[in-house]
């Protein structure tokens, strides 16, 4: 990390949005190449961590310049915008799914998207929607981000002064949440798929990383092969990668997985952010940051497309949520052939990149023109 803008943050936010889109399209062959296939964590961890990084970087700067009151008002205003977007996006998603379901005869897209609850309990579903309880498939990350953003003003002052204290309290809450079964209520007596009490740790760690990255540090003189933390993280990634790949062949997995290790490891909870998932993401982030310093590679054309999507992550994420059922419908109408599945996956990414390009162009267009002084 440096004092300048780190374009790697934008790049990996954009990459996470691509992975989320691919993972949410059923039977998508390109989903076999996303991060979830090579370890215990997936794009959701990347998204939440970098959301915390970007939020603390932006609102921390505002707090230092204009005071915590101004920063709090802007955080709450942003959370309100996200809430309105969530309501609108859910209504749009339901309309698209109902439309797609009327054109697909081989599958029930309404059931697959988790919208059956709305058909059987429309009044209660609308109330649950306003309370962020009704979250069909694809819609879980946004309510989580809204709640984490609402909690940011409570910890931002201490985070900017003593980040290690906030991280310590966050770790305690993370450990207590599954033990005491703390979670928020969902529909039909259920709970949130992303437990905010557990996932807040990733958000806080992202914010702490943003603060740490602004501090001057000495360069590491030793090569990576002689750095114990890097070697340990890389070893963990290799071991977990082999375990994740073995899931594709249950017989091989059962033959080589020690029983005691399996009893300790499984189930790898995504709801409560299992320690194995958390450790895998932290190792992945550390190794990636060490192997890919910002040495100009983010300025290449292809990387810039991902960076542009990452800069407008909210808009591109919402667009990806809308595109996923449309891609599913397109695949079903095309007979679910391999060529059609690859085409819809690449088309969706292309449209997401075009949206990022349009938003970037529109932002430059709205900048006030500089008047030359003669």
pLDDT at 373: 43
Q: What is the pLDDT of residue 4?
A: 53
Decide if pLDDT at 374 tops 50. Answer: no
- Map residue 191 onto helix, strand or coil: strand
pLDDT in tens, 114-137: 888 888 888 888 888 888 888 888
Under 8 Å between Cβ of 2 and 213: yes
For residues 294 and 7, is the Cβ–Cβ distance under 8 A? yes
pLDDT at position 252 is: 86
- Nearest alpha-carbon partner for 277 in 194, 335, 219, 334: 194
Chain Cα centroid distance, residue 169: 23
List Cβ neighbours of 283 (8 Å cut-off, separation of 6 or more). Answer: 232, 233, 234, 236, 237
pLDDT at 216 (0 to 100): 65
Distance separating the N- and C-terminal Cα atoms of the chain: 41
pLDDT in tens, 292-345: 887 788 888 899 999 999 999 999 999 999 999 999 999 988 888 999 999 999
User: What average pLDDT does the segment 31-46 reach?
Assistant: 93
Q: How many CB atoms lie within 10 A of CB 63?
A: 22
CA-to-CA separations, 191 to 74, 166, 225, 241, in angstroms, rounded: 29, 26, 44, 30
Q: Is the pLDDT at 217 greater than 70, yes or no?
A: no
Contact 179, 83 (CB under 8 A): no
The answer to pTM > 0.85 is yes
For 13-22, what is the mean pLDDT? 95
């Amino acid at each position: 990390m440096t004092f300048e803008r780190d374009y790697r943050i934008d790049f990996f936010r954009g990459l996470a949005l691509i992975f989320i889109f691919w993972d949410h399209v059923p039977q998508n062959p390109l989903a076999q190449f996303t991060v979830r296939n090579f370890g215990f964590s997936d794009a959701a961890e990347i998204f939440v961590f970098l959301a915390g990084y970007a939020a603390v970087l932006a609102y921390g700067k505002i707090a230092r310049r204009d005071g915590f009151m101004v920063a709090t008002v802007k955080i709450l205003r942003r959370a309100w915008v996200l809430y309105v977007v969530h309501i609108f996006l859910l209504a749009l998603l339901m309309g698209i799914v109902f439309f797609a379901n009327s054109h697909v005869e081989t599958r029930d897209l309404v059931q697959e998207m988790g919208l059956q609850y709305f058909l059987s309990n429309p009044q209660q579903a609308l109330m649950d929607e306003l309370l962020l309880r009704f979250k069909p498939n694809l819609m879980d990350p946004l309510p989580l981000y809204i709640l984490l953003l609402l909690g940011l003003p409570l910890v931002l002052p201490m985070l900017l002064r003593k980040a290690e204290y906030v991280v310590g309290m966050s770790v305690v809450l993370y450990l207590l949440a599954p033990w005491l079964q703390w979670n928020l209520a969902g529909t039909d007596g259920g709970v949130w798929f992303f437990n905010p009490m557990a996932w807040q740790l990733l958000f806080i760690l992202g914010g702490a990383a943003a603060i740490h990255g602004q501090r001057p540090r000495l360069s590491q003189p030793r090569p990576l092969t002689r750095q114990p933390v890097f070697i340990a993280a890389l070893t963990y990634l290799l071991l977990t990668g082999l375990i994740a790949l073995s899931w594709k062949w249950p017989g091989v997995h059962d033959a080589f997985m020690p029983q005691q290790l399996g009893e300790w490891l499984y189930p790898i909870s995504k709801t409560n952010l299992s320690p194995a998932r958390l450790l895998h993401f932290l190792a992945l982030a550390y190794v990636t940051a060490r192997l890919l310093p910002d040495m100009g590679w983010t300025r290449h054309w292809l990387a810039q497309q991902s960076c542009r999507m990452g800069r407008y992550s909210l808009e591109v994420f919402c667009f990806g949520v809308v595109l996923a059922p449309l891609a599913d419908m397109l695949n079903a109408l095309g007979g679910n052939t391999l060529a059609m599945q690859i085409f819809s996956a690449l088309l969706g990414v292309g449209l997401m990149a075009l949206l990022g390009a349009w938003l970037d162009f529109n932002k430059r267009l709205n900048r006030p023109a500089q008047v030359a002084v003669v």
